[in-house]
């Protein structure tokens, strides 16, 4: 023992950093391991996690779910009015919002403002006050987009008269939907509901949507995975940055528009609107990712995450193996860059269905391909690469359709495994815009956030109970 302490000591510290700091002050050489108990230290969830790890039924289910995700072939098939695609909208006054379920009284400002705007757009109420009374009286149903195979950015609002992109998975015929991107500024997805905003939405229905529909009739279905893959090689991550993807889409859609019988003035107007909006492809990307994740959903006993979504208050996830159940927690704050004049105190909590891109292995998971994104969300190109590498530790595999040049063309990490998240303490990273907490102010910044660990701990408990029931071991 005396000889041991007479030699230079090299210490490995696991857990609290303060122990390592004290050893360094005493002159020791310390390697610190950033470790914490799995599942937030919840003993019951930790035992469930240990039981689920390498469980043969879960492993088999994950192989099936991940294979279905990889096999998905989303194509942009059509543009239709929401009530034509979502049958529930024909039976009742229904408006869809982003994220997991939430009651009107608990909604954030931007979502409330957007819903009020949608009620007026549909002609169900003449003004803000009348629209809110209609909602408070329970005469308008509010449900998540995900409950109807749909997604929407930020507030995520879809109402019956809005046009939708239709994406079809050619592997299984399943269809998913997204609203059309309004552009920047005062827009419904940030809660703005002025006459200017509603007039733009009416123009999108009357002019933009019919033109896109006619162009798709000329071009035929547009394969989306190759377009997204090419955009990743051109500096996009197809969530917060869609400049290249939108450009690739323009190359396909404008010649098709010129091949229609539409008036030249309409073709010019529509082309100009798409060209001016670098975010136009975002909604298409979201619907494509929704189609890929829906293919992986509904595999009994799978621990693969099939949905991540936020409503401006809570963050929710779904697992493939636990059906339609949501696992929710308070949304984590967004760390990023704010526009001049705004700060953290002005921001709404994380918001929108666009985290479906990260769920599908792009967006924040593909930041290594998009070093320019750090100018928008903060950090450095090295941080972006580190985020993509770190996500490999919590996923089932990689998607060879989406490769990252900065990582020697390695496939993007994909197939978030709730077990690995809870065990390793690494949270899925998400690129996101930051909305002002007041309706209609709009975007005030952008940054990076993560899914809250509490969602995954709750999901592990539920999955363990499901597997035990399946195995006849229920307590």
pLDDT confidence of 204, banded at 50, 70, 90? very high
Residue 34 clears pLDDT 80, i.e. is over it:
no
pLDDT confidence of 16, banded at 50, 70, 90? confident
Residue 374 clears pLDDT 90, i.e. is over it:
no
The CATH 3.90.1710.10 portion of the chain extends over 73-286
The CATH 3.90.1700.10 portion of the chain extends over 42-69+298-471
Is the CB of residue 149 less than 8 Å from the CB of residue 290? yes
Whole-number pLDDT of residue 474: 54
pTM, to two decimals: 0.93
Whole-number pLDDT of residue 411: 98
Task: Name the one residue in this structure whose structure tokens are 């829906």.
Answer: 294
Rounded alpha-carbon distances, angstroms, from residue 115 to 30, 124, 204, 444: 55, 12, 18, 20
213-241 pLDDT, tens digit per residue, is: 999 999 999 999 999 999 999 999 999 99
Task: Name the one residue in this structure whose structure tokens are 């937030």.
Answer: 40
Is the CB of residue 370 less than 8 Å from the CB of residue 239? no
Which candidate, 360, 374, 356, places its Cα nearest to that of 402? 360
Q: How far apart are CA 101 and CA 110, in angstroms?
A: 16
Whole-number pLDDT of residue 390: 96
Whole-number pLDDT of residue 358: 98
Q: Which residues contact 6 (CB under 8 A, 6 or more apart)?
A: none
Q: What is the mean pLDDT of residues 35-60?
A: 93
pLDDT confidence of 1, banded at 50, 70, 90? low
| Structural tokens at position 269 | 């107007």
Residue 335 clears pLDDT 90, i.e. is over it:
no
Question: SS3 letters for the chain?
Answer: CHHHHCCCCEEEEECCHHHHHHHHHCCCEEEEECCCCHHHHCHHHHHHHHHHCCCHHHHHHHHHHHHHHHHCCEEEEEEEEHHHHCHHHHCCCEEEECCCCCCHHHCCHHHHHHHHHHHHHCCCCCCHHHHHHHHHCCCCEEEEHHHHCEECCCCCCECCCCEEEEEEECCCCCEEEEECCCCCCCCHHHCCCCHHHHHHHHHHHHHHHHHHHHHHHHHCCEECHHHHHHHHCCCCCCCCCCHHHHHHHHHHHHHHHHCCCCCHHHHHHHHHHHHCCCCCCHHHHHHHHHHHHHHHCCCCCCCEEEEEEEECCEEEEEEHHHCCCCEEEECCCCEEEECCCCCHHHECCCEECCCHHHHCCCHHHHHHHCHHHHHHHCCCHHHHHHHHHHHHHHEEEEEEEEEEHHHCCEEEEEEEEHHHHHHHCCCCEEEEEEEECCCCCCEEEEEEEECCHHHHHHHHHHHHHHHHHHHCCCC
Angle subtended at Cα 446 by Cα 441 and Cα 451, rounded to the nearest 5 degrees: 110
Task: Name the one residue in this structure whose structure tokens are 């931007």.
Answer: 110
264-290 pLDDT, tens digit per residue, is: 999 999 999 999 999 999 999 999 999
Specify burial of residue 225 (Cβ count, 10 A radius: 0-12, 13-18, 19+): middle
Q: CATH code for 42-69+298-471?
A: 3.90.1700.10
384-408 pLDDT, tens digit per residue, is: 899 999 999 999 999 999 999 999 9
Angle subtended at Cα 441 by Cα 149 and Cα 166, rounded to the nearest 5 degrees: 20
pLDDT confidence of 257, banded at 50, 70, 90? very high
Furthest C-alpha separation in the chain: 92
> What CATH class is the domain 73-286?
alpha beta
Is the CB of residue 309 less than 8 Å from the CB of residue 144? yes
pLDDT confidence of 23, banded at 50, 70, 90? confident
Q: How far apart are CA 21 and CA 16, in angstroms?
A: 9
Q: Which residues contact 300 (CB under 8 A, 6 or more apart)?
A: 61, 321, 466, 470
């Amino acid at each position: 023992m005396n000889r041991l302490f007479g030699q230079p000591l090299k210490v490995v510290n696991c857990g609290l950093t303060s122990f390592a700091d004290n050893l360094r002050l005493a002159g020791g050489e310390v390697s610190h391991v950033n470790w914490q108990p799995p599942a937030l230290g919840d003993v019951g969830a930790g035992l469930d996690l240990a039981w689920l790890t390498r469980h043969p039924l879960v492993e088999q289910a994950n192989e099936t779910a991940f294979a279905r995700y990889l096999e998905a072939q989303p194509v942009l098939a059509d543009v239709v009015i929401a009530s034509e695609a979502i049958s529930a909208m024909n039976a009742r006054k229904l408006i869809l919002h982003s994220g997991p379920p939430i009651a009107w009284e608990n909604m954030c400002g931007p979502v409330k403002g957007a819903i009020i705007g949608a009620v007026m757009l549909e002609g169900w109420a003449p003004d803000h006050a009348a629209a809110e009374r209609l909602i408070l009286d329970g005469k308008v149903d509010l449900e998540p987009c995900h409950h109807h195979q749909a997604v929407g950015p930020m507030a995520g609002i879809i109402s019956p008269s809005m046009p939708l992109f239709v994406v079809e998975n050619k592997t299984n015929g399943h269809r998913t939907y997204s609203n059309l991107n309004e552009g920047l500024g005062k827009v419904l997805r940030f809660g703005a509901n002025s006459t200017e905003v509603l007039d733009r939405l009416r123009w999108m229905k009357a002019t933009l949507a019919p033109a896109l529909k006619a162009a798709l009739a000329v071009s035929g279905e547009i394969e989306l995975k190759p377009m997204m893959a090419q955009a990743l090689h051109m500096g996009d991550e197809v969530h917060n940055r869609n400049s290249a993807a939108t450009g690739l889409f323009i190359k396909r859609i404008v010649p098709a528009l010129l091949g229609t019988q539409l008036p030249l003035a309409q073709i010019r107007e529509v082309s100009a609107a798409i060209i001016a909006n670098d975010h136009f492809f975002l909604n298409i990307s979201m619907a494509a990712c929704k189609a890929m994740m829906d293919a992986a959903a509904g595999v009994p006993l799978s621990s693969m995450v099939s949905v991540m979504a936020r409503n401006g208050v809570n963050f929710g996830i779904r697992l493939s193996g636990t059906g339609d159940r949501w696992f929710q927690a308070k949304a984590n704050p967004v760390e990023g860059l704010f526009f001049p004049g705004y700060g953290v105190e002005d921001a709404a909590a994380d918001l929108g269905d666009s985290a479906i891109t990260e769920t599908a292995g792009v967006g924040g998971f593909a930041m290594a391909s998009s070093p320019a994104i750090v100018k928008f969300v903060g950090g450095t190109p090295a941080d972006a690469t580190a985020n993509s590498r770190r996500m490999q530790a919590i996923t089932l595999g990689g998607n060879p359709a989406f490769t990252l040049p900065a990582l020697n063309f390695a496939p993007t990490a994909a197939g978030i495994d709730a077990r690995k998240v809870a065990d390793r303490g690494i949270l899925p990273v998400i690129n996101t815009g930051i909305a002002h907490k007041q309706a209609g102010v709009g975007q005030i910044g952008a940054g990076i956030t993560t899914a809250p660990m509490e969602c995954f701990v709750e999901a592990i408990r539920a999955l363990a109970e499901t597997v035990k029931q399946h195995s006849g071991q229920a307590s």
